[in-house]
Amino acid sequence: MAATLQAIRGMNDVLPDEAAGWLAFEEIVRDCMHRYGYRNIRTPLLEQTGLFRRAIGEVTDIVEKEMYTFTDELNGEQLTLRPEATASTVRAAIEHSLTYNGPVRLWYAGPMYRHERPQKGRYRQFHQFGAEALGFAGPDLDAELIVMCAALWKTLGLGDVRLELNSIGSQEERARHRVELIRFLETKVEALDGDAKRRMHSNPLRVLDSKNPVVQEATKDAPVLMDFLGEASLAHFDGVKKLLGAAGIGFSVNPRLVRGLDYYNLTVFEWITDKLGAQGTVCAGGRYDGLFEQIGGKPTPAVGFAAGIERLIALWQDAGRVPAPHAPQAYLIHQGEGALEYALLAAEALRAAGHAVVQHGGGGSFKSQMKKADASGAPIALIVGEDEVRAGELTLKYLRRDRPQARIRRDGLVAGFNAALKET
């Protein structure tokens, strides 16, 4: 036998037992998006590498070392598996002039790819859903997205997520703060660790959310970005906070909250849990008013978020809220002369009426068929033997209730079955 083939590291099979939960989860997300007026968009998993380099930022970790990038050997194009979907969504919006007639609300879901070392809640192929409100400038959409998330957590029954909020202002405001921050960090350089020193010039904001207590202590009097925000930025932030207050959504302002991707401005937010170990961020987003221009579109304000499906499903499981998979309504056992054809047609009649009926396959003794019927979780076993075929009937046995089994007429099958289902 050839060497065993296995899935690529960090890319997981979602097996049927678990996939049932995924389907239920996705259905809840779809329903939520629909209720808020967001329309689905499906973009390719593969894009030109340049899209992500320009959108996400050349000096981010994602672009520098985490992208699955390769050359298409057939035509020499540089391609990348999407590490996130906002860039693709905006690219599609520009390419198809989606905001020509005014702003649009969009949502997506699907796999993303980042070449990181796998650990709890972090995989090389992982799944996100997200929403993007394109063409809206005011704080109302920032708030709407956050309110929508809160509603979704409520539907899912997740209690252990908290909201952190910040405003990172405009590019100009960040630039002025950056100068002051670097000046401050240079005075503390002996207290900084290697990571902090490295980032001091490349991404000084990142130094502020270091997990190293020594670095935290040394930077506790660092210049705060919030103090550099002008009137317009502060008004926008106040608008968001006021709406969240009105909606009764609790949050804490974290002045050190920054986002990993370059395209954000003004509002940034994260939904965080303490229940998933080191990967506590379950959903994150913010405003990205500059992104359209950055990748060649007309200036268009926009705001969005992305949520990690694996992380949310893990939380959902912890909370014990994942619904049990649907069992079939009946398991159909057959044995003897003419029973197979008879059973097949009976099953088809029930399925046409909307019922989930599993017909036993692969032979086996009557006893083993009964065992399969039990294991299927179905409330009812339907039995077809030579007796039933001759009589034009089926035997109906309740598997989960102590009720006598009964014969039902084949020509009144659907009605008889419906009546029996009510007794389960």
Q: Is residue 199 part of the contact set for RNA (CB under 7 A)?
A: yes
Q: Strands of 357-359's sheet, edge to edge?
A: 357-359, 330-334, 380-384, 393-398, 406-409
The residue range among 30-38, 203-211, 238-246, 351-359 that interacts with RNA, by the rule CB under 7 A, is 203-211
Give the per-residue contact string, 157-196, with RNA (x = CB under 7 A; - = no). Answer: --------------------------------------x-
What is the chain's alpha carbon radius of gyration, rounded to the nearest angstrom?
28
Tell me the number of residues near RNA by CB under 7 A.
Answer: 69
Q: Would you say 146 and 249 are in contact if contact means Cβ atoms under 8 Å apart? A: yes
Instruction: Name which of 262, 269, 264, 270 is nearest 287 in CA terms.
Output: 264
Q: Which is closer to RNA, CB of 104 or CB of 383?
A: 383
Closer residue to RNA (CB): 239 or 356? 356
399: contact with RNA by CB under 7 A: yes
CA atoms within 13 A on the CB side of 47: 25
User: Which residue matches tokens 């994150």?
Assistant: 284
Interaction of residue 311 with RNA, rule CB under 7 A:
yes
8-state DSSP, 348? H
Taking the C-alpha atoms of residue 95 and residue 118, their distance in angstroms, rounded to an integer, is 34
Tell whether residue 139 is a contact of RNA (CB under 7 A): no
Report the alpha-carbon distance of residue 357 to residue 376 in Å, rounded.
10
**Pairwise CA distance, residues 382 & 394, whole Å:** 7
Looking at residues 323 to 362 of the shown chain, list those that interact with RNA (rule: CB under 7 A): 335-336
Residue 284 Cβ vs RNA, minimum distance, rounded to whole Å: 3
Q: Is 146 a residue that touches RNA (CB under 7 A)? A: no
What is the DSSP pairing of strand 357-359 with strand 380-384? Answer: unpaired
* Token pair listed for 421: 């289902």
Distant-in-sequence, close-in-space partners of 379: CB < 8 Å, separation ≥ 6: 327, 329, 330, 398, 399, 400, 401, 421, 424
With CB under 7 A as the contact rule, which of the stretches 147-155, 235-243, 244-252, 367-375 interacts with RNA?
A: 367-375
Q: Does residue 216 interact with RNA by CB under 7 A?
A: no
The stretch near RNA (CB under 7 A) out of 98-106, 131-139, 236-244, 280-288 is 280-288
Q: Please give the Cα distance from 206 to 216 (Å, whole number).
A: 11
Q: Which of 114, 177, 287, 360 binds RNA (CB under 7 A)?
A: 114
Two tokens, residue 149: 């998330």
**260 lies in the site for RNA, by CB under 7 A:** yes
What is the nearest approach in angstroms of RNA to the Cβ of residue 309? 7
Question: Does the footprint of RNA cover residue 62 (CB under 7 A)?
Answer: yes
- Residue 174 CB, nearest distance to RNA (Å)? 15
Shorter beta-carbon distance to RNA: residue 59 or 234? 59
CB 114 within 8 A of CB 66: yes
Q: Which residues bind RNA (CB under 7 A)?
A: 1, 4, 6, 8-10, 60-62, 66, 84, 114, 116-123, 126, 128, 195, 199, 206, 210-212, 259-261, 270, 277-284, 306-308, 310-311, 335-336, 364-368, 370-375, 381, 383, 385-388, 395, 397, 399-400, 405
